[in-house]
Amino acid sequence: MHSQTTVLVRTNHFEAGVFRCRSRTPGELRHAVAQSNLIAIPRSVSAIAQAGRGEKITTPVRAVFYNRGCRYTARSVCSLRETTLFIRVPTAVLADAIRPHDPRVDARRDQPLTFFDGPMSDATYLALTRLAGAPPRGGEADDVLRGAVADLIDAAYRERATRSPARHGVNDDDYVRWAQELISLSIGESIRLDEIARRVGVSASHLCQAFKRRVGMTTQEFRACLRLRSAVDEIAAVQGPLAPIAAGLGYLDPAQFAAEFRSRFGLAPEHVRSILRAGILHPAGR
């Protein structure tokens, strides 16, 4: 297994960069320890198991949180490659972001984060994706990272405040994990909910409720979000027509792809490509 960590931005408060790993064989496990408090923004699909928690699927749909010293294992799911953007956050800065939601954070400075993952807005995803292109410098970079950290922490706590308590068995997380993995492996296909449920071994109604409760969206919404956020990375990385990118993600009609992309991000795919390459960090007016 070969891995590389590249720091893209250093400010007075944050360090941000990209982690890349290539496995030698499918399913090869990577064992690691978080050397700092981390917020990870997956750009590929992986299965992560933090110490004390079961394995979970991570995708570009949601951010992942690590306390300093957290032991975890990871394996790539859809390919041999694993790519993750990361933000290293000092404990004091992280505690400031958490305190309005949980004043008890000051009593657990060694474990400020109490959750594994959380929602991530399209605007935040675009802003952080820009870090892998031409990173900002100085105060602008600090502002972008501080805003992203605040947005991600706020979103995680808002989700937990509205999430319904678990009403089903302990296997619900497994059903949701298998469903996420199935959708990720077949991102170019439009598999119906009843077929996903049949393959993971649970009723469609049960999976629908568990998936919405755990991920915060339906299986169809998850697939659409995963497709279009994957498209952002491909659009930024590949120069050329958009039709092959759209086809690879399951869109038979490039016009439908462009319309759904614009509906989600508020901009046409070509505009997002130019924005990400020009260094504009707040395309959605955040």
CATH number at residue 191: 1.10.10.60
Q: What is the pLDDT of residue 284?
A: 40
CA 276 – CA 131 distance, rounded (Å): 9
Q: Domain containing 153 — which CATH number?
A: 2.60.120.810
pLDDT of 53-88, one tens digit each? 889 999 999 999 999 999 999 998 888 889 999 999
pLDDT score recorded for residue 165: 55
At 164 the pLDDT is 58
Residue 242 placed within a domain = yes
Picking from 136, 162, 188, the residue at the C-terminal end of a domain is: 162
Task: Give the type of residue at 230.
Answer: S
Handedness of CA 152, 158, 161, 163 (dihedral sign): negative
Q: Which domain holds residue 133?
A: 2-162
- In angstroms, the CA 75 to CA 87 distance is 20
284 assigned to some structural domain: no
Check whether residue 28 and residue 84 sit in a common domain. Answer: yes
Are 71 and 211 contained in the same domain? Answer: no
Split into its structural domains, the chain has a count of 2
The verdict on residue 98 lying in a domain is yes
pLDDT for res 281: 45
1, two tokens: 């297994």
pTM for the model: 0.87
pLDDT value for 50: 96
Q: What is the pLDDT of residue 261?
A: 93
Distance CA 71, CA 75 (A): 14
- In contact, 234 and 261? CB cutoff 8 Å: no
Domain end: 162, 185, 203, which one? 162
Q: List the chain residues with pLDDT less than 70.
A: 132-138, 163-170, 278-286
Q: Which residue, chain included where needed, has tokens 């699909």?
A: 45
